[in-house]
Structure 1
Amino acid sequence: MDFQAAVQEHRRELHVHCYRMLGSFDDAEEVLQEALLRAWTHRDSFEPGSNLRAWLYRIATNGCLDLIRQRQRRPEQVRSHADLPWLQPYPDAMLDEPGAVVVGRETVELAFVAAIQLLPAQQRAVLVMREAIGWSAAETAAILETSVPAVNSALQRARATLERDRPSAESSPPRTVLSAEERDLLDRYIAVSERPDRDRMAALVRDDIRVTMPPQPVCYDGWATLAPLHDLAAEHGDWRLLPTSANRMPAAACYLRPPGESTFTAFKLDVLRIEGGLIAEVTTFGPELFPAFALPASLSA
């Protein structure tokens, strides 16, 4: 067996696993690199014929658990994404790479990733492996080197926490692509953002829209609060937006050309949550992950 090639076949799903556990694209990349190095260093301990995927998951999960405990990243409550300064988006293009496992929106959307940050490290691992990945209780117990009763107990407690702090999503087939309605609303959001107009934007959003900007600890609730910020956007200069998607949600890469400048420079990434045909939430991130989204650093005028 070509060990290195076999390991690389699982790289993307391991990266998504680490992202779910940590809520941070950068931290997931760091932990995964260390896990793959550890796997290569200890490859002689892997028994031929054993489950390589489970072995790799054990190494990656242990790395995540160590980082969670080391950085003590567990908020007491998640009222909004503003409570999670380390939260980052995940590029859909990476979820759709050849050979990648199917990842539905319900297991990677920002609301899910944010909610599970409330859980203790072990409960978080159990929930992700049982409900997002689909490991059995026995497989999960083997990976975490614990017992099946312990796994079942941790899963029960994790579910109780999520049911208390986040409404249960309706049962539906995994969604891996944007709907026609979402694409249309994203196009209209882009058009109004490039030519700011308060009334036209108000028609696209819910009255109780929420906007957060991790890592900044700010949260804007309601269109009445957000409208003045929309008006100020035009004063910063001209805007150009490109459609994309993150966490199986519509997103827009925003570029700004300040007055007197000739180039549009990467400024922010808006990830939209849509409910009932209107924008219910916008989570705005900085441009640091534009390369991961295969987005240019600038656009010509």
Structure 2
Amino acid sequence: METESVAAAHGDEAAFAGLAERYRWELRVHCYRMLGSFDEAEDLVQETLLRAWRYRGSFQGRSTFRAWLYRIATNVCLDFLDRHPRQPAAGAAGGPAEVEWLQPFPDRLLEPVADREAEPETAVVARETIELAFLVAIQHLPARQRAVLILRDVLGWSAAETGELLGMSVAAVKSALQRARPVLRAHLPQRGSGQAMVPTTQERELLRRFMTAHERADIATFAELLSADVRLSMPPLPYSFVGRAEVAAFAEQALGPGSALHRGQWRGVPVSANRQPAMAGYIRRPGDPSYQAQVLNVVRVEHGRISEITAFRPEVFEAFGLPATLS
């Protein structure tokens, strides 16, 4: 590794490309946590690698090549957030704030392609640090506090390492973390401990029932799957619905006899996003030869019921390797 890093720093394109590809997947996850947007994370990972190549001579070997790339990626994200400041929008009727730029992350991109044993320093992406609820909560933090929390509590970096990366004193890092943690906790949903890394059998069965109810426009069965305090949001649209009755009423409006979609035929495809069960919904309207991509629903399950549904536009299908149409 050390020889490869030195070669990359001295302009060996093959060595640099090998290292860049090795770490691309986790840099993408890091940028995604910082931004909450998959598309922006993709763009900024590319900017990170371009910047790393341009300033490759600045790598002096005082840290690992991985840590050096994280420094660049974090600063690229902070620069972006400085240029594009944004805050979650206030929720309707005092409800949870809306992160209108939120996008889902395909589970298939959460792990490296290479053999993990070759990279013992690389940690598995824990579910609680990639779920949509975590992504929404962390967007409430100022950008630098967000970076400190991710580096310290998610990646496990020391206060000294974090301070060196961000150009902060150890005392400033500790202070930022102390301010960030309560804000994060305040915006996270209550949950049980010991979450499974991937959707459980129970969650997959609940998703199957959800898909069946959706395909049949069976609002009564759909409502039975929901928790009493379920929440439905639809980023980037600034709308949300809270409570079983309100979400079921919206589903009736969207899928019921009075809807323009009611006469169409639905087909669901199970996928996995952010370590959560999800459904890609396709619809074939009367006279259409094929099913068209319509919605990607990511669900969160608590105590055997659906506690949250985040519905995304079909523009996100490409990242999941999903076709725009089904025959």
> Is the TM-score greater than 0.5?
yes
Q: Is contact 1:80–1:212 with CA below 8 Å preserved after alignment?
A: no
One-letter identity of the residue aligned with 2:211: I
Aligned 1:186-205 pairs, distance under 5 A: 186-205=207-226
Q: Which residue of 2 aligns with 1:184?
A: 205
Q: Is contact 2:90–2:97 with CA below 8 Å preserved after alignment?
A: no
TM-superposition CA deviations, 1:176-215 (whole Å, max 9, x none): 2111110110111111111121221121111322111000
1:136 shift after superposition: 1.3
What secondary structure is seen at the aligned counterpart in 2 of 1:261? coil
Measure, in 1, the Cα distance between the counterparts of 2:27 and 2:90: 27
Q: Is contact 1:77–1:118 with CA below 8 Å preserved after alignment?
A: no
Q: Which residue of 2 aligns with 1:214?
A: 235
Aligned 1:46-125 pairs, distance under 5 A: 46-48=59-61, 50-75=63-88, 83-99=98-114, 101-125=123-147
1:141 shift after superposition: 1.1
Q: Which residue of 2 aligns with 1:238?
A: 265
Cα pair distance change 1:25/1:230, threshold 3 Å:
same
Q: Is contact 2:89–2:100 with CA below 8 Å preserved after alignment?
A: no
Q: Which residue of 1 aligns with 2:46?
A: 33
Measure, in 2, the Cα distance between the counterparts of 1:243 and 1:81: 27
Measure, in 1, the Cα distance between the counterparts of 2:167 and 2:191: 30
Q: 2:246 aligns with which of 225, 228, 231?
A: 225
Q: Which residue of 2 aligns with 1:10?
A: 23
Q: Is contact 2:133–2:189 with CA below 8 Å preserved after alignment?
A: no
Runs (4+) of structure 1 exceeding 4 A deviation are: 76-82, 167-171
Measure, in 2, the Cα distance between the counterparts of 1:168 and 1:43: 44
Q: Which residue of 2 aligns with 1:21?
A: 34
Cα pair distance change 1:82/1:182, threshold 3 Å:
same
Measure, in 1, the Cα distance between the counterparts of 2:177 and 2:271: 34
Measure, in 2, the Cα distance between the counterparts of 1:165 and 1:192: 30
Measure, in 1, the Cα distance between the counterparts of 2:131 and 2:95: 14
Over aligned residue pairs, what C-alpha RMSD do you find? 1.9
One-letter identity of the residue aligned with 1:51: T
Gaps of 5+ in 2: 5-14, 115-121
Measure, in 2, the Cα distance between the counterparts of 1:126 and 1:196: 45
Q: Which residue of 1 aligns with 2:11?
A: none
What secondary structure is seen at the aligned counterpart in 2 of 1:83? coil
Report the TM-score when normalising by structure 1: 0.93
* Alignment pair present for 1:267 and 2:267: no
Q: Is contact 2:207–2:277 with CA below 8 Å preserved after alignment?
A: yes
Cα pair distance change 1:298/1:230, threshold 3 Å:
same
The alignment covers a number of residue pairs equal to 299
Measure, in 2, the Cα distance between the counterparts of 1:253 and 1:97: 24
Measure, in 2, the Cα distance between the counterparts of 1:168 and 1:150: 29
Q: Is contact 1:18–1:61 with CA below 8 Å preserved after alignment?
A: yes
What secondary structure is seen at the aligned counterpart in 2 of 1:75? coil
Identity %: 50
Q: 1:147 aligns with which of 169, 193, 203?
A: 169
Measure, in 1, the Cα distance between the counterparts of 2:237 and 2:97: 7
1:75 shift after superposition: 3.1
Measure, in 2, the Cα distance between the counterparts of 1:93 and 1:213: 23
Q: Is contact 1:82–1:217 with CA below 8 Å preserved after alignment?
A: no
Between stretches 128-137 and 77-86, larger displacement belongs to 77-86
Report the TM-score when normalising by structure 2: 0.86
Between stretches 161-170 and 47-56, larger displacement belongs to 161-170
Gaps of 5+ in 1: none
One-letter identity of the residue aligned with 1:152: K
Measure, in 2, the Cα distance between the counterparts of 1:298 and 1:84: 28
Cα pair distance change 1:30/1:66, threshold 3 Å:
same
